[in-house]
Amino acid sequence: MNAKDTFFSTKTTLNCQGKILSLHEPVVMGILNVTPDSFFAGSRTTSEKTVLERAEKLLTEGAAILDIGGYSSRPGAIDISPEEEQNRIVPAIKSLKQEFPDAVISVDTFRADVAQAAIEAGAAIINDISGGTIDGRMFATTAALQVPYILMHMRGTPQTMQTLTQYQDLLPEMLRYFAEKVDALRQLGVNDIIIDPGFGFAKTVEQNYEVLRQLEVFRMLELPVLAGMSRKSMTYKTLNIGPEEALNGTTALNMLALTKGAKILRVHDVKEAVQTVKLYLKTTNA
């Protein structure tokens, strides 16, 4: 443990519906999309069979959390109704909990009703890309459900976010955003909050790297930080390749994020991320 870790006492456990998930050492969250249009084709599942097969693969490779999403949040994604999103997510979660009862599942949604249905079906964490800005009921719903909440930084919607990349001072604005929302969540009684800087959301490629270079500043919030850079444009556009070729670059950026305090890596490729965490821990006293 280094001096920065000592000064900023980051919370290291999450209460996931009675199951305590330790973040003393970084963990890996595996992406499980029940969508036909996610930007990386390798993460898409469209039937119960493929959902269970991918989940088994992610868990076998060492995923501590399965993050299931039914709404593609890639830039310019097609909007779908809450009913369609829920119809994709809830049956998948029920199947996952029946097949893998000990799995910790997070639901990737910005809609309070979808989040509630997912938690009732067996999910244990809410992962909200909008930070409560798209659905004003999300914070109260999270508080009522008493589950961990992943608070991400974004502007606008998936359809408009890439037109909203103008900031006077990016990092201070992000810190103010998080401080205000954490305070609102605390006042409602939400106990477990995870910070997600929102790589790729309302940020240019260069802004993404600015956030990564200064990722350790989020430690002052004394909350776990999630880094979600897997196969995103900040990697493949920089390297002039496609998402399918961006695993190596993702691994490099994940290692850097770990050295700057990330506690959760959200990835498509769990085996490689777990290996990255193991190698990182070899270089520290964590």
Per-residue pLDDT of the chain (286 residues), as tens digits, is 444 444 556 778 999 999 999 999 999 999 999 876 554 455 455 678 889 999 999 999 999 999 999 987 766 667 889 999 999 999 999 999 999 999 999 999 999 999 999 999 999 999 999 999 999 999 999 999 999 999 999 988 877 888 889 999 999 999 999 999 999 999 999 999 999 999 999 999 999 999 999 999 999 999 999 999 999 999 999 999 999 999 999 999 999 999 999 999 999 999 999 999 999 999 986 5
**265 Cβ contact partners less than 8 Å away, ≥ 6 residues apart:** 26, 27, 28, 29, 226, 227, 228, 230, 254, 257, 258, 273, 276, 277
The CATH class, in words, for 17-281 is alpha beta
| pTM for the structure as a whole | 0.91
Confidence at residue 40, expressed as pLDDT on a 0 to 100 scale: 44
- Residue 161 forms beta bridges with which residues? none
Confidence at residue 38, expressed as pLDDT on a 0 to 100 scale: 52
**Concatenated DSSP letters for the chain?**
--HHHHHS----EEEETTEEEE-SS-EEEEEEE--S--SSGGGB--SHHHHHHHHHHHHHTT-SEEEEESS--STTPPP--HHHHHHHHHHHHHHHHHH-TT--EEEE-S-HHHHHHHHHHT--EEEETTTTSS-TTHHHHHHHHT--EEEE---S-TTTGGG----SSHHHHHHHHHHHHHHHHHHHT---EEEE--TTSS--HHHHHHHHHTGGGGGGG-S-BEE--TT-HHHHTTTT--GGG-HHHHHHHHHHHHHTT--EEEES-HHHHHHHHHHHHHTS--
111 given a catalytic annotation? no
Q: Are residues 152 and 196 in contact, defined by beta-carbon separation less than 8 angstroms?
A: yes
Confidence at residue 131, expressed as pLDDT on a 0 to 100 scale: 96
232 given a catalytic annotation? yes
Confidence at residue 43, expressed as pLDDT on a 0 to 100 scale: 47
> In whole angstroms, what is the distance from residue 259 CA to residue 26 CA?
11
What does the block give as tokens for 251?
């691994």
Of 54, 88, 203, 266, which residue is the catalytic one?
A: 266
Of 232, 260, 271, 282, which residue is the catalytic one?
A: 232
